[in-house]
């Protein structure tokens, strides 16, 4: 089955008007076609679902968000409360009542309505839910994973179709994955880099060697220390982590204590969404908390964890928005944009709009598969079994999210057989290791374990170029001749063709060090681990940094992207700019340039300059 993509219509309103069609949902269905159907789920089995409701007045909402980050507007920094958001933009009490009554008619019970009026949690039997959504839920087995999902696309009853966007929770397949990497783990121990075997060449003095970096070294690399010296430590601020795995808080407290940070014994607050997450991926949550909370040591850290399901990956954002406690929020989980179900994209987008309207800045890891997000070498579409396909990660591709990209720091890396020099900070992509790996370990190791690892970046084919990127030099359009062709027992299958020349949202927005070879120490499971990296470090780092900026500014910062690109136009890469240009290297395809580029985004940060320039821009 061959699918052609159709970009989502309008930046916002097209997501919520009538029935949305996008190839992403169809492509997701094609992926699941490889699973073994075990038959219909027992009709008496109880299931709990999340009914995602539709926003009202979306065009007005996007205009309002733009005004809150425009210093020339009388709405500048006039963010909404949850009650105000619900009153102006969410379904009304009467709408909620209509949906509740329709559910109750079939015996489906409403358990909870989120304060923001965007999510209804309801429980019923499989038979009741099948009838309400005109579908049939089946059980499936895919490799060793057991899950349930509808055997055909759900439909919303006409009586509430004007209020309900979609239902999630019937599909329980885990899809999102964390964005962290380790060279030794990636190559099964065949290739590793030892501690103290990398010498930096970028002129920055750090307390620890690359591969052993802590948050103290991040502060040195990106000029955060002057803020600390002025007692900007995140006091009065709350950092949020949206994750799909639980963790052990004592690991984070041990990490902070070990690096010399004094934190409150009640710094961490765990919020379990939809019953809470499992433990698969707990290391990801641990590093998110350690990095964000360590860079803003006086802040509180609220950890929202949800199951790794479509419902969990929407509800976790809406719950944080509905609570409206955190000032910043990040996630280090994602999946390829083209494989994401279109209803999930739309539901998450609504949550990001609410977060922006309430002043909460949202970050997401841009991915660890370089320019080829779908070709994860641990996934079903790895090269060379499938063709290389330029693609980006979701939710980082959403225009109301700051996409966190990755860099490799300049340095000399010493391996067992040779040394490799990276002369300048560059986009992270392990193509700089290709000659070495192929010479000493063979091409098979490189393509099986290393390609296409790197910082995610490219052009969205679902979201058009947002206004804040329209006049920025260096943005790109989608490349030509992009098809995902995979080998199968019956021959090559053309699964999806992407549009050429689409003027889409460019990612990432900002990049920091993410290469495991110049990476980080992590304390998890009661022990230290070294040589970790990934854009999953960058997203929580930007999260913690923004908590500092929020304290410095005396207010939440809201939708950060328009402000970042305005500052780029104002300051460029001058000596007092908050940005450092990344001018050489690539992310397996897109080239770094002395401008915005889809390999490194705007570039790296000088955090103290960013605090000063934001202040000068009206803060």
- Known catalytic residues are 284, 288, 536
Q: How many CB atoms lie within 10 A of CB 307?
A: 22
- Burial annotation 284-302 (CB, 10 A radius, 16+ → b, else e): bbbbbbbbbbbbbbbbbbb
Contacts of 349 (CB under 8 A, 6+ apart): 12, 15, 398, 400
CA angle 471, 477, 481 (to 5 degrees): 170
Helix (H, G, I), strand (E, B) or coil at 68: helix
Q: How far apart are CA 79 and CA 88, in angstroms?
A: 13
Q: How far apart are CA 49 and CA 41, in angstroms?
A: 15
Q: Show the beta-strand stretches assigned E in 387-539.
A: 393-394, 402-408, 411-414, 419-422, 426-427, 458-464, 483-486, 493-497, 504-507, 510-513, 520-524, 527-533
Is 286:540 a contact under the CB 8 Å cutoff?
no
Give the position of tokens 């099948």.
130
Q: How many CB atoms lie within 10 A of CB 355?
A: 27
Q: Computed from CA positions of residues 383, 332, 457, 575, in that sequence, does the dihedral angle turn out positive or negative? A: negative
Q: How far apart are CA 196 and CA 530, in angstroms?
A: 11
Q: Show the beta-strand stretches assigned E in 245-337.
A: 268-272, 300-305, 328-331, 333-336
**Of the candidates 420, 424, 421, 419, which has an alpha carbon nearest to the alpha carbon of residue 409?**
424
Give the position of tokens 């549009």.
499
Q: How far apart are CA 522 and CA 583, in angstroms?
A: 30
Helix (H, G, I), strand (E, B) or coil at 506: strand
**Of the candidates 347, 336, 398, which has an alpha carbon nearest to the alpha carbon of residue 369?**
336
**Residue 73: DSSP 8-state:** S
Task: For strands 483-486 and 493-497, give the pairing.
Answer: antiparallel
Is 500:482 a contact under the CB 8 Å cutoff?
yes
């Amino acid at each position: 089955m061959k699918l052609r993509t159709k970009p989502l219509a309008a930046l916002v309103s097209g997501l919520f008007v009538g029935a949305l069609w996008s190839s992403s949902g169809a492509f997701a269905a094609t992926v699941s076609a490889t699973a073994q159907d075990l038959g219909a789920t027992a009709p008496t089995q109880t299931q709990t679902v999340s009914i995602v409701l539709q926003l009202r007045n979306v065009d007005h909402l996007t205009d309002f968000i733009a005004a809150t980050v425009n210093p020339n507007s009388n709405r500048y920094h006039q963010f909404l409360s949850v009650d105000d958001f619900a009153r102006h933009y969410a379904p009304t009490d009467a709408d909620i009542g209509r949906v509740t009554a329709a559910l109750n008619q079939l015996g489906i019970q409403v358990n909870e309505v989120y304060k923001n009026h965007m999510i209804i949690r309801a429980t019923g039997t499989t038979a009741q839910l099948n009838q309400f959504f005109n579908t049939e839920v089946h059980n499936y087995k895919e490799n060793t994973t057991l899950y349930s999902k509808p055997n055909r696309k759900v439909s919303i009853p006409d009586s509430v179709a004007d209020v309900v966007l979609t239902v999630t929770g019937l599909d329980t397949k885990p899809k999102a994955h964390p964005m962290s990497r380790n060279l030794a783990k990636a190559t099964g121990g065949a290739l590793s880099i030892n501690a103290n075997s990398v010498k930096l060449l970028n002129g920055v003095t750090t307390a620890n060697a690359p591969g052993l970096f802590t948050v103290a070294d991040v502060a040195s690399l990106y000029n955060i220390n002057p803020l600390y010296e002025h007692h900007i430590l995140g006091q009065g601020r709350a950092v949020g982590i949206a994750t799909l795995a639980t963790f052990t808080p004592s690991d984070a407290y041990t990490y902070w204590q070990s690096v010399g940070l004094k934190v409150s014994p009640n710094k961490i607050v765990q919020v379990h969404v939809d019953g809470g997450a499992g433990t698969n991926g707990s290391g990801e949550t641990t590093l998110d908390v350690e990095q964000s909370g360590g860079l803003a040591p006086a802040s509180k850290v609220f950890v929202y964890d949800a199951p790794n399901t479509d419902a969990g990956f929407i509800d976790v954002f809406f719950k944080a928005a509905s609570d409206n406690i955190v000032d910043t929020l990040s996630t280090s989980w994602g999946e390829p944009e083209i494989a994401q179900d279109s209803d999930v994209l739309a539901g998450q987008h609504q949550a990001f709009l609410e977060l922006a309207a309430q002043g909460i800045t949202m970050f997401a890891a841009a991915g660890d598969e370089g320019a080829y997000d779908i070709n994860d070498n641990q996934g079903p579409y790895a090269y060379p079994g499938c063709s290389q396909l330029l693609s980006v990660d979701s939710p980082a591709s959403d225009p109301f999210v700051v996409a966190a990209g990755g860099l490799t720091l300049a340095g000399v890396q010493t391996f067992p057989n040779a040394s490799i020099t990276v002369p300048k900070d560059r986009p992270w992509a392990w193509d700089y290791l290709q000659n070495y790996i192929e010479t000493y370990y063979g091409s098979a190791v490189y393509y099986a374990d290393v390609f296409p690892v790197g910082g995610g970046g490219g052009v969205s084919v679902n979201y058009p170029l947002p206004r804040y990127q329209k006049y920025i030099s260096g943005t790109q359009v989608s490349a030509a001749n992009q098809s995902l062709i995979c080998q199968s027992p019956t021959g090559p299958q053309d699964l999806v063709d992407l549009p050429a020349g689409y003027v889409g949202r460019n990612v990432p927005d900002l990049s920091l060090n993410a290469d495991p070879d110049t990476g980080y120490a992590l304390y998890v499971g009661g022990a230290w681990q070294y040589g970790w990296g990934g854009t999953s470090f960058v997203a929580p780092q930007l999260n913690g940094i923004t908590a500092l900026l929020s304290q410095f500014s005396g207010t939440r910062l809201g939708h950060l992207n328009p402000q970042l690109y305005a500052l780029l136009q104002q300051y460029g890469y001058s000596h007092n700019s908050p940005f450092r240009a990344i001018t050489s290297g690539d992310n397996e395809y897109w080239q770094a340039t002395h401008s915005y580029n889809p390999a490194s985004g705007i570039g790296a940060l000088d955090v103290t300059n960013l605090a000063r320039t934001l202040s000068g821009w009206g803060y």
